[in-house]
Structure 1
């Protein structure tokens, strides 16, 4: 088969479409003929040499895919050849085929094109596991989402709104209209406005119950300041650095909490548990039209370098898909 390889770390030009060995599904795995994958920030880091795949994962980028099952392992009973599916991957989505544990596979939502389903697994599993399962967002609470124009951000806005939360989002001003269409109640231009002041203003001084953060160190102190009493900050990215200062006194006074999580490095059994939760709680919202895949553009997989340039420029809204 062919896949996007990274012979040497570097810029987008380091991505090379090349012939590689065919994957073989293990006893508890399915083999997927890939129709589409999607670009995630982790892929950019892997290309640069900063985020190697976990042990046992394919060497090629790609944390999600959609396609058609081509083969199943001897122990797999829940899936069959010919089914249209999407899947959460530890790597290998930028390829013609990928083998994945059966517990990380999801059906393509009813009525959705198989290609568009590639925009869902990574963001659905990341957002649900952090905002709902870990932080316990409930109806009537306020959710602050940073990086609202990203794949994670656009999904978090929709999920929060579907759950009955008031969603506040930070993003470039050019993306605000689309984010309001997706369900954001309030939009903040992080380049021109102080998000702590804005969150306090729109919540009458109360603050955010849950903050979903991709920035890390650069936003740590301000995120704590923006929390409501009993608030929960969940850090899922470090685009703003990894070492920050935490005011424990303020955290104690607010009886608040800070969580930091990663998805890719979790063992398959933990990922399978998250995937089950997404199928039970999120897929019905998708099939009811309350959440939709937000696709900025579709790029041929052989032009993955161009897709990486688009994501690095941060001008897109939602996901950039790689199509075979």
Structure 2
């Protein structure tokens, strides 16, 4: 089978297309998936560079999220069967024509939802859903400030917080991204910068945001702290800006703020402890909810552009440009 392979940690440009052995028969709790598309993310780039929390043994195929069709199941698998359309999460390996995975991080796609629309659900939407509910305990009627609101996780957070009954204020760097957030339920769209607190308070009846979702980091985090309401919860889920923020502890203290660090990888098997099996029942329920919402049109997962397998470096460059609305994907069949 064809696969992309990273032979040494470094630039994504070094990843090459190779021929590899097709995965063997699944174990008792495993499934084999014929992959159609796989997503592109900052995590993939960091993994190839050897800078991510997880360092795969070399050589390895990158890719952490895929959609396709089940072609074989182990004897103990009851949730899935050959022929099922599925979306899956893996520690790595999704940039290959076939992949073998534990069944508990593979999720059936409901009828009527196409593969590309399902692709962003597990990681982008899963991160936003579990962060908002499991960590921040979001309640209907609260105000939510979403930073990086035009990209994958940010745009997912806008949609999901809206579905949960929150009043969403979207912060994004371009007019196109702000418009996309407004079309997906945000009640206001603001511009990142030193003036953020004033803009947010104008949109939140003068009191600031009850929850701040931050996949960006950098100096924008400091501006967001000033835009938070008293007793607010801050959710730190990544550093797309390329720099980690400095936490203004004095403002955190005076405003009685809570900072939640959140690593979604803990729930999907990206830690040495491989905790995914522990969290599988709760996560499977969350995925069913989100995939059903997408099927019903209550969520609008967006893949902005699809690249061939030879286009991974181009896809990563576009992602790093921060001009993408939604997600990028690799066509494994092309």
User: Are 2:139 and 1:138 aligned?
Assistant: yes
Matches of 2:39 and 2:105 in 1, distance apart?
16
Distance apart, 1:297 and its partner CA: 1.1
Q: 1:46 to 1:135 in 2, by over 3 A?
A: same
- Counting only pairs closer than 5 Å after superposition, residues 30-109 of structure 1 correspond to structure 2 as 30-51=31-52, 53=54, 59-109=60-110
Structure 1 match to 2:178 = 176
| Unpaired runs of at least 5, structure 1 | none
Alignment RMSD:
2.3
Matches of 1:186 and 1:206 in 2, distance apart?
15
TM value normalised by structure 1: 0.91
Aligned residue pairs: how many? 322
Give SS of 2:132's match. Answer: helix
Structure 2 match to 1:297 = 305
Matches of 1:279 and 1:162 in 2, distance apart?
15
Give SS of 2:165's match. Answer: coil
Bigger drift between 136-145 and 20-29 goes to: 20-29
Q: 1:313 to 1:65 in 2, by over 3 A?
A: same
| Unpaired runs of at least 5, structure 2 | none
- Counting only pairs closer than 5 Å after superposition, residues 144-223 of structure 1 correspond to structure 2 as 144-171=145-172, 172-190=174-192, 194-223=195-224
Matches of 1:245 and 1:126 in 2, distance apart?
22
Structure 1 match to 2:234 = 233
Matches of 1:234 and 1:270 in 2, distance apart?
23
Q: Deviations over 1:224-266 (max 9, x none)?
A: 322222211111112342362341x433443321111212224
Matches of 2:58 and 2:210 in 1, distance apart?
36
Give SS of 1:144's match. Answer: strand
Distance apart, 1:206 and its partner CA: 1.0
User: Are 2:26 and 1:11 aligned?
Assistant: no
Contact 1:101 1:268 in 2 (8 A): no
Matches of 2:16 and 2:290 in 1, distance apart?
35
TM value normalised by structure 2: 0.88
Distance apart, 1:140 and its partner CA: 1.0
Q: 1:317 aligns with which of 312, 319, 325?
A: 325
